[in-house]
Chain A
Amino acid sequence: MSYQFNIGCSLNNLKGVREFIRNSLTGQGVSDLEMGAIVLALDEMCSNLMIHAHHCNPDHHITINIHIPTKSQFVFEIIDDGSMFDINQFQEPEIDSLVHEKRKGGLGIRLVKTIMDKIEYVQEEGKNVCRLTKSV
């Protein structure tokens, strides 16, 4: 089974991203807590991409694909054609330094890395594909 969603890079569209993920995963045997965590991870990835690669330009679009190859396994793809923002290359700050430096960033990346099993980046047909894998 697979699902697709296209959105402009406006932070106002994050709610739509969350609804798309929830609707697609409903009935797939995902617990409430797992659902919450997965929805959160996709929200974090999309907001990062919108802010850092697209400067919240609503005319720029990103695509989200969900593939469910086998029961309880989910593959999420976030596709865009901006500059690649690879969170694997980003060293998330320690929690202590976040408190001290009053930085309001870095937490999202930590969340995604904690929640997802695997985060990969590839180039396909000239586009950036970020592939997130999660088994529940």
Chain B
Amino acid sequence: MVHIKRLQEDGIDILSIVGEIDASSSIELDLAIAKSVGEGFKKILVDCSALEYISSAGLGVFMSYIEELRDKKISLVLYGLKERVFNTFSILGLADLLNIRSNRQEAKTLVNELSV
């Protein structure tokens, strides 16, 4: 089960993922990112501090947005990943394809730099 909360701060859309993302729940992540993109946000942060688990279904969602975000000049930064969650990204070498920072402040700084 996963819950995704959204709030806006200084023009940044912040998606907070709470729970676990697997093949049964990855659609929730997909819908949340699609909504943020659809509403025209250029800066998106994904708060992963309460993300307990992610499987390839969730990783695939992030991967599937890489080109669209690039084309639409939208910056997306993940932050607050637990070690075991980060490890899942690392095993596949995805940590280098996505923007990942350790905390919200660093993530905010990066998302602002990227969208200059």
Contact = CB atoms under 8 A, between A and B. Distances in A.
A22 to B, nearest CB: 10
Contacts of B88: 36-37, 40, 111
A111 B53 CA distance: 14
A108 B26 CA distance: 13
A128 interface: no
A1 interface: no
Contact of B83 (A33, A51, A98, A104): A33
A100 interface: yes
A36 B84 contact: yes
A99 B24 contact: no
Given A18-B53, A100-B67, A102-B64, A36 B87 contact: yes
Nearest to B93: A95
Interface residues of B, number: 27
A29 interface: no
A107 B58 CA distance: 10
B64 A43 contact: no
B84 A107 contact: no
A37 to B, nearest CB: 7
20 contacts: A14-B24, A18-B53, A33-B83, A33-B87, A36-B88, A37-B87, A40-B53, A43-B22, A44-B56, A47-B55, A51-B23, A99-B67, A100-B67, A103-B60, A105-B60, A107-B63, A111-B56, A111-B88, A111-B91, A115-B91
Contacts of A71: none
